[in-house]
Structures are given as structure tokens and as C-alpha cells.
A = this chain, B = another copy of it.
Amino acid sequence: MIRVGVNGYGTIGKRVADAVDAQPDMELVGVAKTQPNFEAHTAVQRGYSMYAAIPERMPLFAEAGIDAEGAVDEMVADADVVVDCTPSGIGADNKALYESHDTPAVFQGGEDADIGDVSFVARANYDDALGADYVRAVSCNTTGLSRIVAPLEEEYGVEKVRATLVRRGGDPGQNSRGPINDILPDPIDIPSHHGPDVRTIFPDLKIDTLGLKVPATLMHVHSLNVTLEDDVTAAHVRQLLEAESRVFVISEGMGIDGAGKLKDFAHDAGRPRGDLWENCVWGESIAVEGRDLYLFQAIHQESDVIPENVDAIRAMTESASKAESVATTDEYLGVGITGDPSGFGGEDRSDRVPGTELADD
């Protein structure tokens, strides 16, 4: 069993903890939090050991009725791997702590690329992370772009990628963010940082990205153009993407016209938190003009990186091959939508929320 600690229990951390907890070859040592807010209470309810990310705040947890096991460094010492899910920039501050305990760590995409030995998307470069001490699971948008580029590059060759990322202004809980009733080029200067970030995964890729922010919270939507090296048909590309376990090709008859209905679909299917770990590509949007491929995809910013974090742990510990790890993560998390409206992942998961099992122990 790989013993995993999760430092930071917010939007990403709580999902990583649940995903780790659901894996057959991993054990969740515990989670570390800065404050005993609602998420801390849920963690306790799920049976997760709680550690104080700021040791001086231990009494705060006690006051809130939460018995913290100890301070974060105890969790780090006890873990084979730590997944750092703290806010952007804090991960860099935490690296010294992990180094002092010789504990390998996964960082998130908000950190600079040089925080890790390798930036990581399982589909694209799993093997680069084999045995690595520090790995950066790239951001939601970079993950989403890389999952499309990888099969296209392998199958047809990619001449150039041009992508406009229509980004949600903030997550549903980030109620002090904007915009309201505006469409903001963000950043105004072109290209955005996303293209260079994808090049941490595909160093030789030609890619230009443009970013905007709009008054929506549910998912990002990418308007994607890929100039391919081969002549292809839209039908062939669709078939290729449908074969990817972490790409959900939305079929026309499902009546899914946006992120709202995608989330409804995920909630109806009993997915934890209505998460959509897969790129959600509109099948009817897949179009080819000459060697120019176009498509729209929606990216769930809160959850698409979760399977990647789990795979990174196996690569770093060299405990599974790429194929084995991806298959295990997908099976135990429930990744993979067949397009069959009867459910996700080929089985009814409506009674199963990762992590809840422990709470009954």
C-alpha cells in the first residue's frame, strides 16, 4: 500500500483525498488544513485523519470539535508521497518541508513548472515521472488540452494548435470573483500562458492560446483548432477521441448544450460532487476543413486533474505501468463515460461516493 498524505483540503485536495481513498493500492494517511471550516468537518465525517497545516492553530481545531492528529510535518513524515493541494505559490513554500522528510510530492499546476522534475499528464508522459521525487500535475486547462493533443499527435501528427479558452470567472464557491456581465480578454496580451504550459508536456509543440474570462462558474469551454499533418475526416477524429477513456464525446441525442446540463448529467448519475473528470467534447462540433480540425470541449476545472494526481503517485513510486495505473484509477474513481445515458463508467455508481466507506468504519 502506498501511504499518501494530502496537504491542503480545498477544491482539489478534498477530491484528491477521496480519489486516493478509493484506490485499492493506496492508503490515505490523512489530510492537512489551515482552518477548521466546513470542509474540515466533512473530512472528519469521512473518517480522514486531520492534521493542522499551521501547528499554532491546533487549538482552533479543538475548539471547533475536531481532534487533529497532529501537525502537518507528522503527516509528511508518515507518508510515502504527499500531494500538495495548497493555493498557487504556497506549494513552492512547502517544498522544503517535503525535502526535509525525504517525502516525494505531487504539486499542482498553479506552481511554476520548475517546482517538479517533470510536469505531468498521464496520457502524454506517464513514463517521464517514473521514480521522480517531485512532479507537477499541470492545470485543468493544460490537462484538457494535452489529452486531446496526445492522440492527435500520435495518430496524425500536429502542425499547430490554436486555442481560445473561454474560462469560468471563478469556481462556484468563489463568490467574490468576477466578472459580472462582461467578457474579459484575460490576459489581454496574446498568447496566454496556457500554450507555454502545454509545452511543458509537449516540448516541441507549436501552440498559441488566447484566454478570456466570462460570468460563469461551472466549467471552462475551449474553442480548439488543430492543424494536422495528415488529411483526416471528422468521423475518424471522433472515433479516435471516443476511444480515449478520459475524453467524453457528447452524442447529439443527449441534449447537452452546455456546462449546466453536463453537471446535471453527472449529478443524476450519482457522481461525487457532480464531477466530470473527462474532457467533454461535443461530438457534433468535431469538424475538419482541409487539415484544420475544430472542436468545442468543456473542462471541469475542479476535477479533471484528479485522475492525473492519482496516476502521478503510482509513477513516482514505480508501482504500476501507465496502462495499469490509468486502468486502476479509472475503475476505482469511476472515470469513463460511454455516451450511454444510462450511466457513467459502465456501472451504476449512484450509491457510491468515494470516501464514505471509511465513515462507516
Given A189-B285, A216-B214, A287-B189: A292 and B184 within 8 A (CB)? Answer: no
Residue in contact with A214 in the complex, picked from B160, B185, B215, CB distance below 8 Å: B215
A29 to B154, CA, bound (A): 66
Residue pair B188, A257 in contact (C-beta under 8 Å): yes
Interface string of A164-194 (1 = CB under 8 A from B): 1010100000000001011111101111000
| A142 CB to nearest B CB, Å | 18
Query: Quick one: copies of this chain in the complex?
Result: 2
Given A164-B223, A183-B219: A188 and B296 within 8 A (CB)? Answer: yes
A258-308 interface (Cβ within 8 A of B): 258-260, 282, 284-287, 289, 292, 294-296, 298
Interface size (A, Cβ < 8 Å)?
44
A296 to B187, CA, bound (A): 10
A125-163 interface (Cβ within 8 A of B): 160, 162
Residue in contact with A208 in the complex, picked from B182, B215, B294, CB distance below 8 Å: B294
Residue pair B166, A258 in contact (C-beta under 8 Å): no
25 contacts between A and B (CB under 8 A): A162-B292, A164-B223, A179-B216, A179-B258, A181-B216, A182-B218, A182-B259, A182-B260, A183-B214, A183-B220, A183-B221, A183-B258, A183-B298, A184-B257, A185-B221, A185-B223, A188-B257, A188-B282, A189-B284, A191-B294, A210-B296, A212-B221, A212-B296, A214-B215, A215-B216
Q: What is the interface of chain A, defined by CB distance below 8 A to chain B? A: 160, 162, 164, 166, 168, 179, 181-186, 188-191, 208, 210, 212, 214-221, 223, 225, 257-260, 282, 284-287, 289, 292, 294-296, 298
